[in-house]
Amino acid sequence: MLNGAGSYRRSVITGPRQIAFEEVAIPLPGPSQVLVKVAAAAVCTWEQRVYAGIDSWSYPLVGGHEFAGEVIAVGPKVSQPLAPGDQVAVAGLRRCGECWACRRGYDNVCDNQHSAREPGKAWGPGGFGEYALLEGYQIYRYPRPVHALEAALAEPLACVLHDVKRFTPRRGDTAVIVGAGIMGLLHLAALRSTGAVVVVSEPDATRRTKALEMGAHAVIDPSTEDYVESVKRLTEGRGANVTYVAIGLPSAIEQSVHAAAKRGVVSVYASVHPRGTLIQVDPNVFHHKEVVLSGSVAQDHEDFLDAVWSIAHQTIDLKPLLSCSFPLGQLADAFAAAARPDTYRVFVTPDGV
Ligand SMILES: [Zn+2]
Ligand SMILES: [Zn+2]
C-alpha cells in the first residue's frame, strides 16, 4: 500500500501549443477513490483542439481521457472488487448519478460533468500524467490481460458502441460512415458483426485503402465523386439506411440527409466547429421519407462495460488503429504525430513503447 510519499510528473496544457510539466505529490485515494498508474493514454481530437488553441475554455488542462493503467491503491468504500495490480480502463466522464439525465439512464449527458472544475486550477481526466486519481465508478477492470495500447482505447470504442447501439442497422441494410479517421474506422470495426453492408466515404486515398483492409464493402471518394449519387448507386437508388457522420463538416450532414433511404437515420457523431454553425436541409425529406436526423455523444456506463469486454475478449480488432507511442515528456511530438493524416491513434506511455 502506498503511504502518500513521493511525487509524480504530469503535463498541463496551459495555452495554445504550450505544455508545462509539473511534479505533484502522489495523492492517497479518498474512501470512494482509486489511484491508478497510467500505462498508456491516447491523443484524441479534444486534446488536439485544446493544444491547437481551437478550444480555449479548457486551460489549464491535464489532458488524456482515453487511458488505461494499473491499480495502485483502492479506497475502503469502493464497492467493486479491485486490487493493486489490476489492469483497468478509465472512464474520464463524471456521472453524478443524481441529475435528471443520469436518472433517466442518459449518464453520457450528465448535467454535472464539469462540476469538479475550479477556475484557474489545472483540471482534467489526467491520462497525460504518471498517476491519476479517480472515483471508483470511473474504473473498469479488464477481466483478462490486454495489450496496454488496446486497453487505452476503451473510451473511444465505448463512444462508438453508443452510437451504433442507438442507431443499429438491420442485417442487409446499408450503413454509411462519413470520414475514415479513427472514429470512422472504429465504427467500421463495430459494424462488422451487424451484418450490414458498410460503405465508407473518405477523400484521403490512404484512409480509403485502410477502410477496405478493415472490411468496408465499398468506398466513396467525395472529392471526385458526387456523394449522394454514389450512395444511391450503391443501393439501387434507395439510399443509406443508417449514416454515421464521423467528421465535423456541416455539408457532410446535409448531404447525408439527402442520401438517406426512406426511414433512414443520420447520426451526427462528430461535433461541428465553430459552435453555432448552421446546416441547410430540405425539411420535406423528413416528411416524405420519414428520415431521422439525430446524433450521439460520449458513452454511458453500460457502453463502457461493453467496450472493455469487447477488447478483453478480442471481439473487435483494434490493432489496425494503433499507430505509434511517445514518452510523456514528448507529448508535443505526440500531438504533431496525431495531426498527421497517416496516423489513427497515437499514444503516450511511460517509456514511449
Ligand atoms: Zn476521445
Ligand atoms: Zn448526472
The DSSP result for 8-72, as a single string, is: EEEEEEEETTEEEEEEEEPPPP-TTEEEEEEEEEE--HHHHHHHHTSS-TT-SB----EEEEEEE
List, for residues 38-81, the tens digit of each pLDDT value.
999 999 988 999 999 987 788 999 999 999 999 999 999 999 99
List, for residues 94-118, the tens digit of each pLDDT value.
999 999 999 999 999 999 987 667 8
Reading the block at residue 201, the C-alpha cell is: 466515404
Is the same domain home to 58 and 148?
A: yes
Is the same domain home to 219 and 331?
A: no
Per-residue confidence (pLDDT) for residue 58, from 0 to 100: 86
Per-residue confidence (pLDDT) for residue 31, from 0 to 100: 98
Inform me whether the pLDDT recorded for 33 exceeds 50: yes
Last residue of a domain, one of 249, 264, 295: 295
Per-residue confidence (pLDDT) for residue 68, from 0 to 100: 98
Q: How many angstroms separate the CA atoms of 180 and 160, rounded? A: 13
Inform me whether the pLDDT recorded for 138 exceeds 70: yes
Closest ligand (CA of 159) = 1
330: in domain? yes
Q: How many angstroms separate the CA atoms of 273 and 137, rounded? A: 31
Is the same domain home to 115 and 196?
A: no
Closest ligand (CA of 100) = 2
Split at pLDDT 50, 70, 90, the class of 353 is confident
Inform me whether the pLDDT recorded for 273 exceeds 90: no
Inform me whether the pLDDT recorded for 141 exceeds 60: yes
Per-residue confidence (pLDDT) for residue 156, from 0 to 100: 97
Is the same domain home to 291 and 177?
A: yes
Q: What percent of the chain has pLDDT over 70?
A: 98
Residues near 176 by Cβ (< 8 Å), separated by ≥ 6?
198, 199, 200, 201, 231, 240, 242, 243, 244, 256, 259
162: in domain? no
Give 322 Cα–ligand 1 centroid separation in angstroms: 14
User: Please, is 288 exposed, middle or buried when counting C-beta atoms within 10 Å of its C-beta (0-12, 13-18, 19+)?
Assistant: exposed
163: in domain? no
Is the same domain home to 18 and 122?
A: yes
Q: What percent of the chain has pLDDT over 90?
A: 90
Residues near 229 by Cβ (< 8 Å), separated by ≥ 6?
none
- Choice among 114-128, 230-244, 248-262 with the minimum mean pLDDT: 114-128
Average pLDDT for residues 177-199, to the nearest whole number? 96
Parent domain of 289: 168-295
Per-residue confidence (pLDDT) for residue 4, from 0 to 100: 55
Beta partners for residue 236, in sequence order: none
Give 111 Cα–ligand 2 centroid separation in angstroms: 5
How many domains is the chain built from? 2
CA dihedral angle for residue 315, residue 316, residue 320, residue 325, rounded to 10 degrees = -100
Give 269 Cα–ligand 2 centroid separation in angstroms: 21
Cis before 350? omega within 30:
no
Is the same domain home to 23 and 134?
A: yes
Inform me whether the pLDDT recorded for 217 exceeds 90: yes
Give 197 Cα–ligand 1 centroid separation in angstroms: 26
Inform me whether the pLDDT recorded for 1 exceeds 50: no
Closest ligand (CA of 96) = 2
Give 218 Cα–ligand 2 centroid separation in angstroms: 40
Q: What residues pack around ion ligand 1 (CB closer than 5 A)?
A: 44, 66, 156
CA dihedral angle for residue 38, residue 71, residue 113, residue 110, rounded to 10 degrees = 130
Is the same domain home to 240 and 276?
A: yes
Mean pLDDT estimate for the chain: 95
From 352, 330, 304, 322, select the one nearest 149 (Cα to Cα): 322
Is the same domain home to 180 and 205?
A: yes
161: in domain? no
Q: What CATH number is associated with residue 195?
A: 3.40.50.720
Is the same domain home to 255 and 332?
A: no
Closest ligand (CA of 113) = 2
Is the same domain home to 123 and 244?
A: no
Inform me whether the pLDDT recorded for 352 exceeds 50: yes
Give 108 Cα–ligand 2 centroid separation in angstroms: 8
Q: Can you spell out the DSSP letters for 228-293? A: HHHHHHHTTTS-EEEEEE-S--HHHHHHHHHTEEEEEEEEE-S--SSTT------THHHHHH--EE
Last residue of a domain, one of 263, 278, 295: 295
Q: Can you tell me whether residue 90 is helix, strand or coil?
A: strand
Q: What is the CA radius of gyration of the chain?
A: 21
Q: Contacts by 324-332 with C-beta closer than 8 Å and gap 24+?
A: 325/40, 325/149, 325/349, 325/352, 325/353, 326/352, 327/351, 327/352, 328/9, 328/11, 328/21, 328/128, 328/129, 328/130, 329/21, 331/11, 331/19, 331/128, 332/17, 332/19
Is the same domain home to 184 and 257?
A: yes
Is the same domain home to 109 and 188?
A: no
Inform me whether the pLDDT recorded for 322 exceeds 50: yes
Q: What CATH number is associated with residue 55?
A: 3.90.180.10
The pTM score is 0.95
Give 2 Cα–ligand 1 centroid separation in angstroms: 30
2: in domain? no
Per-residue confidence (pLDDT) for residue 3, from 0 to 100: 52
Give 155 Cα–ligand 1 centroid separation in angstroms: 6
